[in-house]
Amino acid sequence: MLRATGLLKSYRAPSGAPIRVLAGVDLAVKAGELVVVTGPSGSGKSTLLNVLGLLEDGDGGEVRFDDERVSRLGRAAKSRARGRYVGFLFQSFLLLPTLTALENVLLAAQYVGRSGSATRRRAMELLKEVGVADRMDHFPAQLSGGEQQRVAFCRAVLNDPPLLLADEPTGNLDDANGALILEALRGRARAGAAVVVVSHRPDAAVGASALYRLRGGVLESP
């Protein structure tokens, strides 16, 4: 489902010196697999997910979704590829404060031009599955961190994306809510999605198909 080869990415330090973040990353994730990437803060894990999900351009290498070379597409085509293939789950939730929980979930459908009663019912079913159906008319400021991340999870999976990328999805959660989100991600892999999770939590690797550590800009087996 996902194949990345030779990914390169550098940034410029204030001094102007290049800082190499990705130094030839190779990664392959099949449908139904859960891959976990660990590494210290600042090691480039978020950058890796952003390049894999076409949110950032790499300096070299390529990314393929379902054997389609997507890393070299134009901006508009990349946006369409993201909508077709990728769901994102972020540490900071990224819910829009002026929309209710249900409306935030439905944003994913609007992004790919879907609407209608069936989509709304599916969004409501997802909120029920993760235990926040009674909060669907609440705004993010009225939700706990755990509730916000469960809403964000529903948004990420509403379109049944074949690829799910989760960047420290439990970083702002307590142990109980973190465990719930991790199990939800494992459930998506069992349902056939390719799932990549960046996490510091040791229990994130439970049930994983593969575990890597990002060190020196490359992925290593721990």
By CB atoms closer than 10 A (0-12, 13-18, 19+), residue 117 is: exposed
Q: What is the pLDDT of residues 128-146, one digit of tens each?
A: 999 999 999 999 999 999 9
Q: For residue 197, which phi and psi values (nearest 5 degrees)?
A: -120, 130
> CA–CA separation, 204 vs 128, rounded Å?
24
Listed by start position, the domains of the chain span 2-220
Q: What's the pTM value of the predicted model, to 2 decimals?
A: 0.93
- pLDDT at position 77 is 95
Give the H/E segment covering residue 123: helix 117-129
> CA–CA separation, 20 vs 8, rounded Å?
8
pLDDT averaged over every residue in the chain:
94
> CA–CA separation, 72 vs 57, rounded Å?
9
Query: CATH top-level class for 2-220?
Result: alpha beta
